[in-house]
């Protein structure tokens, strides 16, 4: 299934050293009428689905990803962004927008990806199961199963029908992460899967706030 993807890379006058959630909060407050930007509605109601607008900070600079309807909204608001008022004021010096249609689905070809931001794979229940596992192979298979589930959940959230089983090969390392001021276990590393995933798509917890973002690695023959 082809999906419209829009990535907005932003260059600010100084490096941003706050979480991507701060970018999300600022833009959500600036455009309160566009609920897709902050993923919640009135009366404390939230939309729980695959986030169609995702905020990331890559190498100290913001990147905002719009997917499907989120791509259209991102294009609509981009010209109205001049600064970010976060822990300090950041002036926007340059905006680079890339738009394309991407066919997100299974493939006969194996693709190689890297987590460019930590993947928060474990919810509270899964974390307890993970900690009880002594064997690294058991932990690896457990994480592989969760990653497959994340990919399938993304596909379902975008209305994509996956008509075959998928398998992943992973090489992951644990890392300590602060998520909503709580220390959590995340993972960095790489994986291979026969599934076409756009660059900067996120998986796991905290997707809209920049966690679990992947980028394709082009393997040399």
DSSP conformational letter for 42? S
Give residue 182's pLDDT. 87
Contact, 99 vs 195, CB < 8 A?
no
Alpha carbon 14 to its chain centroid, in Å, reads: 23
For the segment 83-89, the average pLDDT, to the nearest whole number, is 94
| H or E, element range at 12 | strand 2-12
For the segment 17-46, the average pLDDT, to the nearest whole number, is 79
Alpha carbon distances (Å) from 91 to 34, 105, 143: 23, 38, 40
Report pLDDT digits (tens) over 149-176.
999 999 999 999 999 999 999 999 999 9
Going across the sheet that includes 2-12, the strands are: 53-58, 61-67, 2-12, 89-103, 83-85
Q: What is the DSSP string of 21-33?
A: HHHHHHHHHHTTT
The region that residue 181 occupies, defined by phi over 0 for left and psi between -120 and 50 for alpha, beta otherwise, is left
CATH 3.30.70.1900 in the chain is located at 105-217
Topology, domain 105-217:
Alpha-Beta Plaits (3.30.70)
Residue with more model confidence, 120 or 219: 120
Q: Reply yes or no on whether the pLDDT at 44 is more than 50.
A: no
Which CATH number applies to 2-102? 3.30.70
Report pLDDT digits (tens) over 97-111.
999 999 999 999 999
Average pLDDT over the chain, rounded to an integer? 92
Q: Reply yes or no on whether the pLDDT at 199 is more than 90.
A: yes
Other beta carbons within 10 Å of 96 = 10
Reported as a pLDDT band with limits 50, 70 and 90, residue 113 is: very high
Give the predicted TM-score (pTM) of the model.
Answer: 0.92
Q: How many CA atoms lie within 13 A of 104 on its CB side?
A: 22
């Amino acid at each position: 299934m082809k999906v419209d993807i829009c990535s907005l890379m932003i260059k600010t006058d100084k490096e941003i050293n706050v979480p991507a959630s701060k970018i999300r909060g600022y833009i959500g407050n600036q455009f309160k009428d566009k609920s897709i930007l902050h993923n919640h509605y009135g009366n404390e109601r939230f939309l729980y689905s695959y986030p169609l607008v995702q905020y990331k900070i890559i190498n100290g600079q913001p990147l905002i990803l719009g997917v499907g309807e989120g791509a259209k909204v991102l294009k609509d608001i981009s010209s109205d962004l001049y600064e970010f008022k976060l822990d300090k004021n950041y002036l926007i010096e340059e905006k680079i927008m890339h738009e394309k249609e991407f066919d997100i689905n299974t493939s006969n070809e194996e693709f190689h990806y890297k987590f460019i931001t930590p993947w928060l794979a474990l919810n509270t229940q899964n974390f307890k199961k993970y900690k009880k596992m002594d064997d690294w192979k058991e932990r690896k298979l457990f994480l592989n199963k969760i990653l497959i589930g994340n990919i399938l959940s993304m596909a379902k959230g975008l209305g994509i029908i996956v008509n075959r089983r998928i398998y992943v090969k992973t090489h992951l390392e644990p890392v300590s992460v602060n998520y909503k001021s709580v220390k959590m276990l995340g993972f960095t590393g790489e994986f291979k899967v026969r599934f076409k995933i756009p660059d900067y798509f996120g998986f796991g917890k905290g997707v809209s706030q920049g966690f679990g973002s992947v980028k394709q690695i082009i393997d040399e023959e």
